[in-house]
Amino acid sequence: MKKKNMVNKNEFFDMLCTPGTADILRVSEKAGALTRLFPEISVMKNSAKRFYFHPDGLWQHAVETMEHLEHIAVSLKKIFPDNHAAIALHLSEPAGDCLSRLSLLKLTALFHDAAKPLCARKSGKKMRFIGHEQEGARIMGRIAKRLGLSKGVIDQACLLVEQHMRPISLTQATALTPRATTRFFTALGTATPDLLLLALADWHSYKRLKTHNKGQLKKQEIVLRELLRRFYSVPAVSSRKKIIDGSLVMKHFKLPSGPLIGAVLGLVAKAQDSGKVSTTQEALALIKSRLTLLKKRYKIK
Query: What CATH number is given to the structural domain containing 98?
Result: 1.10.3210
Give the list of residues 6+ apart from residue 137 with CB closer than 8 angstroms, or none.
Answer: 158, 159, 161, 162, 258, 259
Distance CA 219, CA 38 (A): 35
- Picking from 220, 238, 256, the residue at the C-terminal end of a domain is 238
Domain that holds residue 294: 240-301
Q: pTM of the entire structure?
A: 0.78
What mean pLDDT, rounded, does the chain reach? 87
pLDDT for res 83: 93
Mean pLDDT of 87-95: 93
Inform me whether the pLDDT recorded for 206 exceeds 90: no
The count of structural domains within the chain is 2
Of 208, 238, 268, the residue that ends a domain is: 238
Q: Compute CA distances 285 → 248, 253, 267, whole Å.
A: 13, 11, 12
Based on the fold, state whether residues 205 and 282 are members of the same structural domain.
no
Same-domain check for residues 273 and 177: no
Let me know whether 176 and 244 are in one domain: no
The confidence score (pLDDT) of residue 49 equals 58
126 & 215 share domain: yes
Asked if 147 and 278 sit in the same domain, the reply is no
Question: Residue 122: pLDDT above 60?
Answer: yes
